[in-house]
Amino acid sequence: MKILLASLLILLLLAGCGSTAVVNGNDYTTTEATAEYITTTVEEETTVPPPPPVTINGVVWRVAPELDIEGIILCSCGMFVVDDSTWRYTVDPTTGMVVSNHGGHGGGGGMWVFDPELELLGQPFFGEGYDFGIGMHPVDEFAQSLELQLNAYFALWDDWTSENAREWVANALETANRRLVLEQVRATQRYTEPWQGEPMPFWGVEWDETRSNFLGRFAIIENRRPISPWFDAITSRVGDELFAAQQGDTWQLINQYGEPILPLQFEHIVLIDEETAFVRHQGRYGILDIHATSINF
């Protein structure tokens, strides 16, 4: 406890002049509003209440944009992580406090993909490791095409049955009919093997290390078809009506149709929940109060 109090006292003294706090060997530049939330690992954890909200030019901040770190990502484990290539440090979504208790898991899982020219929809992961990369299926025949592909490729499995295929297809179809984010791809292969030359209804995205057939454009789909424009990036973790989208060098909050929720643009946005988001403004991260800010615009 004495170690903890001493570390906090040092940080509070440093805060008055805008200083650098060291967390397990990494330097994090801090200012008065954030210094007291950054501390080294100690025997007992502390619970520091978040600072009072701050309003700057109509933008309401739960935590002022004063945290100078390289970036923030949402890890596959559900924690918000400092994006510094080690992924060792997490950022508290309430206080903005940087702590050092992360195992370094990395980014999220696979994403659905779509070829708008051929109207083909692909399920993530299915087919990875096979010759065809990712299986792509006609939007209007998605269930039938996927079932055909499943039965063809798993036919030699002793415990594979048509019931397995139907269950897989039902789960995939339920997901594909929801509102979700997907990436635009270029389907490059129409499959004939192992069906001795007879064309099949599904295609594939040829996989290579450069991901040349993954076009880096993202949209929101519903009932298997895009309902938003294409963006450079789209993220969401709070349901199906609030998204963060990147176009060029700026990010904004959008609804499911790609329409701005706030007439504001930032350098980066990572949604925390329906009310808050990590936002980088003028090179520093803070926690934006989405609802309170929307009242002012």
Better pLDDT: 69 or 154: 69
Determine which of 129-133, 197-201, 233-237, 282-286 has the lowest per-residue pLDDT on average.
129-133
Residue-level pLDDT at 86? 80
155 and 223 part of one domain: yes
The per-residue pLDDT for 10 is: 33
Cβ–Cβ under 8 Å, residues 252 and 243: no
DSSP 80: E
User: Do 151 and 247 lie in a common domain?
Assistant: no
User: What local confidence, expressed as pLDDT, does residue 202 receive?
Assistant: 73
Query: What is the SS3 assignment for 68?
Result: strand
Residues 248 and 101 in one domain: yes
Pair (7, 94) in one structural domain: yes
Which of 230, 252, 268 is a domain's end point? 230
Residues 226 and 241 in one domain: no
Are 135 and 102 members of one domain? no
| Pair 281, 293: CB distance under 8 Å | no
Q: How many domains does the chain have?
A: 2
Quote the mean pLDDT of the chain: 78
Both 8 and 43 in one domain: the answer is yes
Q: Is 140 in the same domain as 221?
A: yes
Q: Going by C-beta distance under 8 Å and a sequence separation of 6 or more, which residues neighbour residue 110?
A: 124, 125
Reported as a pLDDT band with limits 50, 70 and 90, residue 139 is very high
Its pTM stands at 0.76
List the Cα angle 186/192/196 in 5-degree steps.
170
Residues 225 and 252 in one domain: no
pLDDT at 205: 77
Q: In the prediction, which pLDDT does 47 show?
A: 64
Helix (H) or strand (E) holding 162: helix 162-176
> For residue 41, is pLDDT > 70?
no
Which helix (H) or strand (E) segment is 134 a member of?
strand 134-138
Q: Are both 59 and 166 inside the same structural domain?
A: no
Residues 258-288: tens digit of each pLDDT? 999 999 999 999 999 999 999 999 999 999 9
Q: Would you call 22 exposed, middle or buried from its count of C-beta atoms within 10 A (0-12, 13-18, 19+)?
A: exposed
Please give the backbone phi and psi of residue 271, each rounded to the nearest 5 degrees, phi first: -65, 135
Confidence of residue 219 (pLDDT cuts 50, 70, 90): very high
> Is the sign of the CA dihedral 195, 198, 201, 203 positive or negative?
positive
pLDDT for the residue numbered 5 = 36
Q: How far apart are CA 240 and CA 294, in angstroms?
A: 19
As a whole number, mean pLDDT of residues 37-57 equals: 63
Same domain for 103 and 147? Answer: no
pLDDT of residue 35: 39
- What pLDDT is attached to residue 32? 40
- E strand or H helix that includes residue 136: strand 134-138
Are residues 147 and 288 both part of a single domain? no
Residue-level pLDDT at 165: 85
Residue 267 belongs to domain spanning: 2-107+236-295
